[in-house]
Copies of this chain bind each other. A is one copy, B any other.
Amino acid sequence: MKSAEIITIGDEILIGQVINTNAAWIGEQLSCIGVSVIQHTTIPDEHRAIIKALQTASDNADLIIITGGLGPTKDDITKTALCEFFQKKLVLNDEVAKHVEKIFSRYGTQLLSVNKKQAEVPEGCRVLKNNHGTAPGMLFEENNKVYISLPGVPYEMKGIMEEEALPLISEKFNLETIVHRTILTQGIGESFLAEKIKGWANGLEKESIGLAYLPSPGLVRLRLTAKGLDRPNLEKKVSVAVDALRPLLPKHIFGEGNTTMAEVLGKLLREKGLSLSVAESCTGGNIAQKLTSIPGSSDYFKGGVVSYSNEIKVGLLGVDAALIEKRGAVSEAVAIEMAKGARDHLKSDLAISTTGVAGPTGGTEEKPVGTVWIGLATTKGIWAKKFQLGDNRERNIEVTALTALNLLRLELVNNNL
């Protein structure tokens, strides 16, 4: 099995100002294509440190991925270090030069000499195109080892990895076949999930299928992994396992792979030709933001009201002020009126509402922090459901948003809307 070391360059990571999410992401991607990640190393923005890390890594691993230090400013020194390490000179790459010029002309801004320098790469390297920025990725081969240098900006790094580096790594190494499937669940915690699928999980072991639980707020991803030589057979084995899992979690499984709840729901809405609006109190725009993060969402998402004040609940959503006074803003009745108001005033087929105490303050004995009502107005009726979450504001907002979207998804799937 081929091994990899990931080198991250950056003082900001060493001193804890930035958390090293790049190494985690690259580690995950490499594992998925069957490369064994044996070390992450983070080093300072220093020439000597980069050279030393490259030397050490080349003694241990078959693949060395190095991120950071490719920007136009003078604290970015990876290219000079790569030149010394491979004993090459910097040369201007015409293709990269054109790409950089194109990006600057699009913004209508002038090219600075520091930007021109971004088109220089060590002689003989293979340029990996950066479709999301100016600094190119670079691939070097020496003594059967592959070295890949990438920018540290996460979305640029990810773009080059997905579009250029990962296919090349698969091609250059003769990798064992690994089949992964990741099943996405919502609304059930990791330990309850594990208890519920215990028997099924034991069956996986007999089939030599690996299982990993990957929790994040509101979601648990289940990753199934099978390794071997015969891809069709591995795929079939995993597929049988996934089919056996579905009936165990009918309310919780909403998708697979890298999709999101908003994407799954959006697809359903588009298929059914239904439009959606939202009335958000405790989620403060998070649901609208999730829905609109999907390109083309304007086809089914009409918009929303963030009714952070009661005045807006009354004025824009038509909630009865006396009802708020009587039941409180965080109540079943108000959640229902909000959903109804969004559906009527924003003229959509369906509407979601949220009202709750996100925290950290604002709780009472009757309605402690984490009390949340989610309302749904559909073509078949209006109702609201209560949830009792924890005391972390950020987590409560995220969990409420995902739960609301999943509730609507279940209505669409099960209630034949």
A positions within 8 Å CB-CB of B: 11-21, 23-29, 31, 37-45, 49, 56, 71-75, 106-109, 112, 114-115, 132, 153, 155, 180, 182, 190-192, 194-195, 210-217, 221, 223, 225, 277-278, 280, 283-289, 291-293, 295-298, 301-309, 311-312, 315-316, 345-347, 359-361, 388, 390, 392-395, 397
Q: List 9 A-B contacts (CB under 8 A).
A: A14-B27, A16-B27, A38-B43, A56-B56, A285-B289, A295-B360, A298-B309, A302-B308, A315-B345
Q: Residues of B contacting A75 with CB < 8 Å?
A: 211-213
CA–CA, A311 and B302, complex, Å: 8
- Which residue from chain B places its CB closest to the CB of A153 in the assembled complex? B215
9 more CB-based (< 8 A) A-B contacts, given A13-B24, A112-B195, A278-B306? A12-B214, A13-B27, A14-B38, A14-B39, A17-B214, A18-B24, A284-B293, A285-B286, A303-B312
Q: Which chain B residue lies CB-closest to A282?
A: B292
- Given A13-B27, A15-B31, A345-B316 in contact, is the A303-B309 Cβ separation under 8 Å? yes
User: A347 contacts which of B41, B211, B288, B315 (Cβ < 8 Å)?
Assistant: B315
A285 x B298 contact (CB < 8 A): no
- Judging by beta carbons under 8 Å apart, are B285 and A308 in contact? no
Most chain B CB within a 10 A radius of its CB, from A298, A306, A347 = A306
Query: CA of A396 to CA of B287 in the docked complex: distance in angstroms?
Result: 18
Q: How far is the CB of A367 from chain B (nearest CB, A)?
A: 14
Q: Is the CB of B295 within 8 A of A284?
A: no
Distance between Cα atoms of A216 and B71 in the complex (Å): 12
Closest 6 CB pairs of A and B: A284-B292, A285-B288, A16-B28, A285-B285, A16-B27, A40-B42
Known contacts A19-B19, A112-B195; A306 and B303 CB within 8 A of each other: yes
Question: What are the residues of chain B within 8 A of A302 when measuring CB–CB?
Answer: 308-309, 311-312
Give the one of A13, A194, A297, A304 with max B CB within 10 A: A304
List of B residues within 8 angstroms of A392 by Cβ:
132, 155
Residue in B17, B49, B303, B306 whose CB lies within 8 Å of A212: B17
Partner of A42, one of B39, B280, B390: B39
Is B20 a contact partner of A28 (Cβ separation < 8 A)?
no
A42 neighbours in B (Cβ, 8 Å): 23, 39-41
The answer on a CB contact under 8 Å between B20 and A23 is yes
- Knowing A13-B24, A212-B75, A392-B132 are in contact, say whether A44-B40 is a contact too (CB < 8 A): no
Q: A49-B38, A286-B289, A306-B303 are in contact. Are A191 and B15 (CB under 8 A)?
A: no
In the bound complex, how far is the Cα of B306 from the Cα of A346, in angstroms?
A: 10
Chain B nearest CB, measured from A65 CB (Å): 13
Query: Does the CB pair A388–B107 fall under 8 Å?
Result: yes
CA gap between A59 and B248 in the complex, in Å: 47
Of the candidates B23, B26, B182, the one whose C-beta lies within 8 Å of that of A17 is B182
Q: Which B-chain residue is minimally distant from A16 (CB atoms)?
A: B28
Q: Known: A72-B190, A284-B289, A295-B360. Contact between A308 and B303, CB under 8 A?
A: yes
**For residue A28, which residues in chain B have a CB less than 8 angstroms away from its CB?**
15-17
Measured CB to CB, the nearest residue on chain B to A220 is B73
Specify the chain B residue showing the minimal Cβ separation from A389. Answer: B107
